[in-house]
Amino acid sequence: MRSWALVLVAVACGRASDDRDKLQDQPPPKQVDVPSGLAIAVDVDGAARAPITSDQLRATKPDFADAERRAWLVATLVADASAPGTTIEASAPTGVSIKFARPGPEGHEPVLFLDRRSHVIVEAVDPKDPFPRFHGQGARLHRPPEQLPRVQAVTKLAITRPAR
């Protein structure tokens, strides 16, 4: 009986430290703002174009918005990305790169997404439901993970248009 008590104490102690590591340092800000100094390089068919900047995002009305998030269709920010069949490759400084077809599976569209912590992400969303309920909380609530990939801390968009 005594060995069971020791096991329970050890499990309880280990669990408390695990939970402490998961706590947030600070709550997210009440106002979501575009990060200053943002500059995402843009290439269209291999040629450099003007980057997407903080000023451009502030001046452009988001295609999708709620109290905590904003999202712009990549085609809204870069006119050359509007043709069906266009491929948009989003790259991060870590070397991660993902290609998004336009339109994607089930009509999903690539967007530049600003979350409530002012992180800039490129992902594909369903234009009919761009911010699905419980978005991004799959593991915590034992839901399956999100099905579509995303790129965080995007630094470059490479757009390849279909041959004409």
Residue 152 in any domain: the answer is yes
Tokens of residue 4, six digits = 């069971």
- Give pLDDT, residue 89: 97
Residue 20 in any domain: the answer is no
User: The domain containing residue 96 runs over which residues?
Assistant: 32-130+148-164
- What is the secondary structure of 115-151 as a DSSP string? -TT--EEEEEEBTTBSS-TTTT-TTTTTPPPPSS-EE
Q: Which portions of the chain are predicted below pLDDT 70?
A: 1-25, 27-30, 134-147
Tokens of residue 124, six digits = 């594909």
Whether pTM exceeds 0.85: no
Residue 15 in any domain: the answer is no
Q: What is the 3-state secondary structure (H, E, C) of 4-22?
A: HHHHHHHHHHHHHHHHHHH
Residue 10 in any domain: the answer is no
- Give pLDDT, residue 105: 79
Residue 161 in any domain: the answer is yes
Tokens of residue 64, six digits = 């999708």
Is the Cα dihedral 75, 79, 85, 88 positive or negative? negative
- Give pLDDT, residue 8: 42
Structural domain total, the chain? 1
- Give pLDDT, residue 20: 54
